[in-house]
Structure 1
């Protein structure tokens, strides 16, 4: 598949992840009576990845996440030469998704992206549960490592085959159920960057953590999975790990 088509797929997929996942949190906050709640937001993030993995997994691998692309590179599943273009496409898609979400949310009287947090990630006073920076870093690193481990296992040639997107989407849902109180859940630097651009300086000041911790976790998983699976050359059979 030509790189241009793969990048277009990554842009659209990451748009959908940010618009759908963050949108469920931003718009649900404006209408608490709808009842989507904490579990609904977690499910929304999982569904964005599950649906896009089926839609574009055969085109780009459906990474939608710089940490996923880095982890797949480390594990030998993705060419290093395509890493920066993929990350660029993911960031553009994420920002466009956040921009469209901001435009829609601004149509509600009294909406304030900075005051609401705009589904951005944070620690300390910006953590939903006021968790410390150290707790946030460990949570994001561990969650991303296990997310990559599931991706690598589910998309292994000996793995879940056409059902891999289901395992990956449910894994992301589980991650959100555990970590929303800690950081509002990132495990994805592109997902963190886009809302932070609209949420003000406080969100941008903490953005470093939501790049370093997920990337560190992804690298660890990329090193560990091939050792556990006894392969450094396994190719993904469907979605997420193939490009």
Structure 2
């Protein structure tokens, strides 16, 4: 599959991740009487990855995340030369997903971007008031473990056909753990889309949601490359 089609698949997949995951948080999490809450939002993020993994995994690998792409390079599973195309497509998809979410959400009377549009944050913008250090550690560890799971589930020695389920459930678990800390990023593209629309504090804090996930992904990629054997090609 040529790089243009693979990048297009990444754009579509990341669009779906942001619209589905952030959309569940903005539109449905606290809906009167039948709100889906933290559990529902966590499951929604996992379902976006699971559905896209089955849909475009055979086209692009279904990274949907600049940190994942970079981590897979560190793990020896992806070509560094293809990173710019993948990262650009993922960020564009994330921005488009956030823009469509805004168009939908703003159709309700009283809507305001002051609510954050599911942006990630720390300190006073952390859902649970967690510090910048806590947020940084959380994002590094969660993304690192996410890479270990992704690489393990897609290893050629793993049971065939189950990787999307393992990866989707892993993202669900990550959200269950870390929504109170940072609103859960582990994905710079997911963070960038809402932050660009919200501006102000969301943009000022966006650096952490690039640096920490990428750092964690590199650690996770290198760790699994060692764990799986130096000759492991997945």
Which blocks of at least 5 consecutive residues in structure 1 are unaligned? 236-243
Normalising by structure 1, what TM-score? Answer: 0.94
Normalising by structure 2, what TM-score? Answer: 0.98
Cα deviation, residue 204, structure 1:
0.4
Cα deviation, residue 232, structure 1:
4.2
Asked whether the equivalents of residues 77 and 233 of structure 1 are also in contact (C-alpha less than 8 Å), the reply is no
Cα–Cα, structure 1 residues 232 and 202, in superposed 2: closer, same or farther, change >3 Å? farther
Aligned length: 234
Which residue pairs with 2:209 in the alignment?
A: 210
Which residue pairs with 2:178 in the alignment?
A: 179
Asked whether the equivalents of residues 187 and 214 of structure 1 are also in contact (C-alpha less than 8 Å), the reply is yes
C-alpha distance in 2 between matches for 1:68 and 1:76: 12
SS at match of 1:162: coil
C-alpha distance in 1 between matches for 2:34 and 2:62: 31
C-alpha distance in 1 between matches for 2:84 and 2:115: 32
Asked whether the equivalents of residues 53 and 164 of structure 2 are also in contact (C-alpha less than 8 Å), the reply is yes
1:137-159 deviation per Cα after TM superposition (whole angstroms, max 9, x unaligned): 00000000000000000000001
C-alpha distance in 2 between matches for 1:207 and 1:151: 24
Which residue pairs with 2:67 in the alignment?
A: 67
Which residue pairs with 2:88 in the alignment?
A: 88
Cα deviation, residue 106, structure 1:
0.6
1:73-129 deviation per Cα after TM superposition (whole angstroms, max 9, x unaligned): 01110001100110000001110010000000010001001x111100000000000
Establish whether residue 18 from structure 1 lines up as the match of residue 15 from structure 2: no
Aligned residues: CA RMSD: 1.0
Which residue pairs with 2:107 in the alignment?
A: 107
Moved over 6 A (4+): none
Which residue pairs with 1:77 in the alignment?
A: 77
Cα deviation, residue 233, structure 1:
3.9
C-alpha distance in 2 between matches for 1:198 and 1:120: 9
Which residue pairs with 2:198 in the alignment?
A: 199
Cα–Cα, structure 1 residues 213 and 232, in superposed 2: closer, same or farther, change >3 Å? farther
Report 1:46-65 matches (<5 A): 46-65=46-65
Cα deviation, residue 29, structure 1:
4.7
Which residue pairs with 1:138 in the alignment?
A: 137
